[in-house]
Amino acid sequence: MLKDTVVDILKSVTDAILKHEDVGSILNKTVSSICQNLKVETCCIYTHDKSNDVLQMTASEGYLSKAVGLKLKADEGITGHVFQSKRQVNMANPETHPSFKYIKQTGEERFNSYLGIPMMAGNSCVGVLAIQSSRKTRFHEDIVDMAINLASQLAIVVANADIDRIFRDHSQTLKEKTQHNLGNGDLKIKGVPISSGVVYGQIFNLQSEEFWNSIEIRQVKNTEDELAKLDVAIESAKKETTSIQERASQVFIEADASIFFAQLLFLEDPNFVSDIKSGIQEDSMEAASSVRVTVEKYMDKFRDSNDSQLQERAIDLMDVGLRIVHFLIDTDKSLFPTDDMKMIFVGDDIMPSDLMRVSTKNILGIACEFGGSTSHAAILARSLAIPAVLGVTALKESCTTGDHMLIDGDEGTVILNPSKSTLTKHKKKLDNSLLEIQDEDFSEVAKSSDNKRVKVLGNICMVSDFNQLNRYQYDGVGLYRTEFMYMIHENFPSENEQYRIYRSVAKMASPNPVTIRALDIGGDKPLKYFDHPDEMDPMLGFRSLRILLQHREIFEPHLRAMLRASQRGNIKILFPMVAHYEDIIAAKEVLKEILIDLQSWYGTNFKLPPIGAMIEMPSTVWQIESIMQEIDYVSIGTNDLVQYMFAVDRGNGKVSNYFKPMHPIILSALKHITNTAKKLKKGVSLCGEIAGNPLYTPLLLGLGLRELSMPPQAIKKVKPIISKLNTKECRSLVKEALKMKTEQEVHSAVTKFLQDRELLGL
């Protein structure tokens, strides 16, 4: 029922936009819809007047409808508190709030409950959505969720009021100044394997920037035809933008789908459209030419603005221009594939918006000239289980749209226009990529041959990873990497947006637990909108928990979102890159402050979820007992642990032989951790790459590990091995391995162990 109500309210907002209504009309229809559908006495929208630094009641429905125009100081009352703190307030008896202020003309004394939601556009609060009722009870959590979603949409509408001003000013300038300045087959290329699988298909070469720069400024005689084409193209662009926004919300929950909502407002702006038409009517420009000239002029104005939000919108405007031009050009020169084309995407790098333009089931593979394992293309390809190879030198100049390509995501190679004999050689791999999973080993819980339960969990980067994870039986999410959500955003996601995503992750994994790792940025995972320092060795520098502890403005909303989500889901919080005992104490202090604040609003029933630490530095191995006494569990990150233990850059081929996960030194460290956890009765899991490598499974079981977290696709490799191993025999293997001096000795012993049991290569 409530879901239908939310849809009705959101539909009323979208309908108002599509009918070319002004911001005031949109806001008025929104508050009216909320009151009517939610059966509340009043709903108000306050917007921030930057020039006077006041909050003005811009729209209101219900008892306070006569108070429209009321102005509050930006820090006045509970609404001012919501605006300044950028935090929601949901409470009964609002007069007990420390920021409460009685304002005579509002008649607020008749209301016994208050819900205020900050309207966040990026990191800026542009207003407050406030709902009040005479009932003496806090608003239901489902209504709060609805209000949060709605506030994010309204924020875009309000934020675009400044953009409208630029459009109006520039449109007037154009009226005063009407003149524009016119004036190879079987080619195999090696790359980096990113997402496994082998596919063959037709190429679609994404060349957005090259295409944009190739649009010529040309004049025409028949301007009426160009105007008619433009009208059709703009309407088509609106429909596609709405479709992309809907698909983004469904496929990539973490992606900032609101950018498409903002783009829709561009397409609806009468001044923007009028300026494009002016170029056609007054300068006899071709429609596509006028789109380019107009868009670039506005982009320049956005970039010259002192407002960082407007500066960031320049690239959005170019995307809008490309979408319009897409519908102005001939079909055989189309910039984007149609939704019924099965294609291999090729480009410099591929963004979420590129993948959202078509149904993801029609994306056969991805090949990029640039990008590493943490690029947009890599994150999305792995999440959607699309075979991908990145770092393919001279790729775009070697192929064109319509060519054919074979991608081998296992080997990290692409073959352009492969011959029949080449395809025949790869037939088995191609066939295997199409097979569905049917083996019963994947649908049953993991148990060793001597009936010892082993929990197998999944590592995920995005909610869409559940598409793969749900193909197997799994015992929860052992690692949800929050950094990837940040990496596909244009700015820091708001607390409410993070809360919505964490809620979704917990709901999809329910009733199993989800371990959410706190933001792990820096090093090899920089954010383009965070000022990372230049460092000689970023992997040993300012990254991960070190950033969070020094930037409370990032850490606090991040933790608040996790804590709020944990009250309605089985969530555990994990701190990354803990260097020593002091780090855990510092992180817990921040956590304690936030918990006290949340309990003041939600009551003492607001509980702290299980807290854990990543063990990935030698220092934490030797201080493990002190650290464990402060937390509930540990998660061993062997990727970094091995790297730091041997002081080796695992991405540097010249020293890769020093990266030895099977070395007796590493086994000793793991044994020390598991023994301490058992002694203190604390949880312990392992989430590094070796968890998903069957060669290591006998060692991990022999070390006493009973919780392994791995990429979803690795589950099908590890589960069959677990079911055929005897833990007593595995312990004997480890006992012997710990006496050895080299990794090669251990490797030989493990290989023989598996061969003797006919498990090697299973």
Q: What is the pLDDT of residue 538?
A: 82
Distances (CA, A) of 664 to 157, 616, 637, 668: 60, 17, 17, 6
- Find how far residue 458's CA is from the centre of its chain: 17
Q: Which residues are catalytic?
A: 376, 687
Q: What is the pLDDT of residue 179?
A: 36
Q: What angle do CA 447, 724, 458 make, to 5 degrees?
A: 50
Q: Running DSSP on this structure, what letter comes out for residue 349?
A: S
Q: Position 59: which residue type?
A: A
Give which of 99, 106, 47 is closest to 77, Cα–Cα: 99
Q: Counting beta carbons within 10 angstroms of the beta carbon of residue 340, is it exposed (0 to 12), middle (13 to 18) or buried (19 or more)?
A: exposed
User: Collapsing DSSP states into helix, strand and coil, what is residue 708?
Assistant: strand
CB atoms within 10 A of CB 596: 10
The conformational region for residue 371 under phi > 0 = left, psi -120 to 50 = alpha, else beta, is left
Residue owning tokens 């992750």: 505
User: Furthest-apart CA pair in the chain: how many Å?
Assistant: 87
What is this structure's pTM? 0.75
C-beta of residue 641 within 8 angstroms of C-beta of residue 688: yes
C-beta of residue 271 within 8 angstroms of C-beta of residue 170: yes
Q: What is the pLDDT of residue 106?
A: 58
Q: What's the rounded Cα separation, in Å, for the pair 38 and 147?
A: 11
Q: What's the rounded Cα separation, in Å, for the pair 621 and 665?
A: 12
Q: What is the pLDDT of residue 485?
A: 87
Beta strands 343-347; 198-205: pairing state: parallel
Q: What's the rounded Cα separation, in Å, for the pair 433 and 421?
A: 19
Q: Running DSSP on this structure, what letter comes out for residue 657?
A: G
Give which of 380, 391, 330 is closest to 353, Cα–Cα: 380
User: Collapsing DSSP states into helix, strand and coil, what is residue 456?
Assistant: strand
> What contacts 410, CB < 8 A, 6 or more positions away?
193, 196, 197, 198, 429
Residue owning tokens 């089985």: 570
Q: What's the rounded Cα separation, in Å, for the pair 556 and 606?
A: 17
Phi, psi of 60 (to 5 degrees): -155, 145
Which token pair is 177?
A: 């100044």
Per-residue pLDDT tens for 412-467? Answer: 899 999 988 888 888 877 766 554 444 444 678 999 999 999 999 999 988 888 88
Which residues of the chain, if any, have pLDDT below 50?
A: 174-183, 331-332, 435-441
Which token pair is 343?
A: 């294609």
Run of H or E including 4: helix 2-18
Q: Running DSSP on this structure, what letter comes out for residue 487?
A: H
C-beta of residue 152 within 8 angstroms of C-beta of residue 13: no
C-beta of residue 223 within 8 angstroms of C-beta of residue 446: no
C-beta of residue 685 within 8 angstroms of C-beta of residue 457: yes
Phi, psi of 515 (to 5 degrees): -95, 115
Q: What is the pLDDT of residue 577?
A: 95
Strands laid side by side in the 71-73 sheet = 71-73, 54-62, 42-49, 124-133, 113-121, 89-92
> What contacts 342, CB < 8 A, 6 or more positions away?
201, 202, 362, 364
Q: What is the pLDDT of residue 51?
A: 79
Task: Give me the helices (H) in 327-463, please.
Answer: 352-356, 376-383, 395-398, 420-425, 427-433
The conformational region for residue 21 under phi > 0 = left, psi -120 to 50 = alpha, else beta, is beta
Beta bridge partners of 114: 91, 132
Distances (CA, A) of 4 to 8, 11, 38, 257, 496: 6, 10, 11, 21, 21
Q: What is the pLDDT of residue 422?
A: 87
